[in-house]
Amino acid sequence: MSEIDRLIHRNNYLIIREYLEYLLSIKNRDRKSVERYRFWLRHTLLWAMEHPLETADQIRPPFVQHINGLELATESKKKIIETTRAFFKWAKLYHTKRFNRLPAHWIEDMTPPKVQRAANLDYVALEDVLKIARLKIDRENLALQRDKAMSALLFLSGARAGAITSLPIKAVHLDTEFPHIEQKPALGVNTKNNQSSTTFLHNIPELLDVVRAWDEQVRKRCSPEYPWYAPIQQNWGEQSFSELDPGKQRAVALNKRLKILEAAAGLPHKSPHKYRHGYAIYGLRHCRTMAQYHALSRNLMHANVAITDERYVHLEEIERGKLLGQISNDQAQQRDDDLQGMLAKLDKDDLHRAITIAAGLLVKR
């Protein structure tokens, strides 16, 4: 028996490999995500070692206790336990006979540790994006013009870096009643877990103008399949659109370019994902109904509003105060609107009588 067979049960390795293939081919998870699952499930294999996974409830120490005892970040422990729990649920469903004796309640009782998120979420504020949008950039500097437009589009769309840098020109629609982008793998967009969605942009005219200016320029010179975040080449100090295929590390390049742009605006560096947070915070500030909140959640490409709740529940106190204070302001405004609407229906004589009655009531109070 080889060393690996002695340490890790071969059938355990095979069934986890089958599960990863299932996630890739059936659930359409992207390869990067599946590689992360592979890393997390490696801890499951090392915990079980030579014991069959179908007897997991009998292995000591118990899985959750074992993982909590490792010197790992709490977030990592949470991911490992959640991924392993999902694996066992799949195993019970797709390998019923083999895992028949593994209690369902044992799987459900695999509780990951709670992750204490930072109370103050780091995000890009609208004021910062507007400061970037107002930068005066030389017409010949295509790269910085592109970067300025991208910072605006990041905030307007909330798109992830991998998606927005792979967005083709034909997936950007600005001259419609509701400007939007198509984050669709069918168009070559690299979305998380191969999700496909139409994302509507925040209606912020000054930022939309910056995006439209670049859109008009890149659309005139390039084909519809060309990346909206166009690769730029420089030759003897002159910049032009590159005919070469863009590199594979466009998201990394975007982060570096944003750093240059933000420095020019006198701002601290914020990663592309902080613009996504800024998009969400701006949207939350302006949501007035549950329908709007649901629309914002879908625009973020969250599977459900519970994910949005979990991610943005730790708004800093001042933000929560603003949002709750706005509820009272909205109610007062609604009462004023209702009263104004009622008075508008009165003719001149009835309006005079209403004023007389109102004056009399004020005297009595």
Which residue matches tokens 């997390």? 40
Stated pTM of the model: 0.69
Work out the mean pLDDT of the chain and round it to a whole number.
86
Pair 75, 4: CB distance under 8 Å:
no
Could you tell me how far CA 177 lies from the centroid of its own chain?
A: 24
Please list the alpha-helical segments (H only) found in 51-190: 63-68, 74-94, 104-108, 126-133, 142-157, 161-164
From residue 228, alpha-carbon distances to 36, 121, 147 in Å are 29, 29, 11
More confident residue, 333 or 62: 62
Q: What share of the chain is helix, strand, coil (3-state, %, to 5)?
A: 60, 5, 35
Contacts of 38 (CB under 8 A, 6+ apart): 20
Among 74-78, 247-251, 274-278, 356-360, the range scoring the smallest mean pLDDT is 356-360
Contacts of 329 (CB under 8 A, 6+ apart): none
Q: pLDDT class for 48, splitting at 50, 70, 90? A: very high
Counted residue by residue, the chain has a size of 365
217 pLDDT exceeds 90? yes
Burial class (CB in 10 A: 0-12, 13-18, 19+), 283: buried
Main-chain dihedrals φ then ψ at residue 341, nearest 5 degrees:
-65, -40
Residue 237, both tokens: 């100090």
Cis peptide before 224 (omega within 30 of 0): no
Among 81-85, 187-191, 221-225, 314-318, the range scoring the smallest mean pLDDT is 314-318
334 pLDDT exceeds 90? no
pLDDT at res. 1: 45
Mean pLDDT of 62-72: 94
pLDDT at res. 318: 54
Could you give the angle at the alpha carbon of 309 between the alpha carbons of 24 and 195, nearest 5°?
A: 25
